[in-house]
Amino acid sequence: MNGSEHYADSAAAFALRLVFGANVTWTESREESRQRIYYANHTSHLDFIVLWAALPSSHRRMTRPVAAKDYWSNGWIRGTVASRLFRAVLIDRPEAYPASLGGQAMLDPLLKAVDEGSSLILFPEGTRGNGERIGTFKSGIYHLCRLRPGLQLLPVYLENLNRILPKGEFMPVPLLSRVVFGSPVELREAEPKDEFLERARAALAGLGSA
pLDDT in tens, 18-64: 656 678 889 887 777 789 999 999 877 778 888 998 898 889 889 99
Considering 21-30, 31-40, 125-134, 154-163, the range whose residues carry the highest mean pLDDT is: 31-40
% the chain with pLDDT above 70: 74
CB 140 within 8 A of CB 103: yes
Contact 163, 175 (CB under 8 A): yes
CA distance 173 to 176: 9
At 171, the pLDDT band (50, 70, 90 cuts) reads very low
Q: Indicate if the pLDDT at residue 169 is higher than 60.
A: no
Q: Is 150 left (phi over 0), alpha (psi -120 to 50) or beta?
A: left
Assess whether pLDDT exceeds 50 at residue 97. Answer: no
Query: What pLDDT score was predicted for residue 103?
Result: 65
The total domain count for the chain is 1
CB atoms inside a 10 Å sphere around CB 129: 15
What end-to-end distance do the CA atoms of the chain give, in Å? 34
Using the predicted structure, report yes or no on whether residue 138 has a pLDDT greater than 70: yes
Residues in the chain: 210
What is the extent of the structural domain holding 174?
3-209
pLDDT > 80? residue 2: no
Quote the pTM value: 0.85
CATH code at position 154 = 3.40.1130.10
> Confidence class of residue 161 from pLDDT cuts 50, 70 and 90?
low
Residue, of 123 and 9, whose pLDDT is higher: 123
pLDDT of residue 167: 56
- Chain CA centroid to CA 163, Å: 19
Show the CA angle centred on residue 110, arms to residues 105 and 111, nearest 5°. 90
Q: Rounded distance, CA 8 to CA 131, Å?
A: 31
Check residue 64 and report its DSSP letter.
E
Top-confidence range, 70-74, 80-84, 141-145:
141-145
Q: What band does 16 get if pLDDT is binned at 50, 70 and 90?
A: low
H or E, element range at 154: strand 153-159
Residues 5-9, mean pLDDT to the nearest whole number: 58
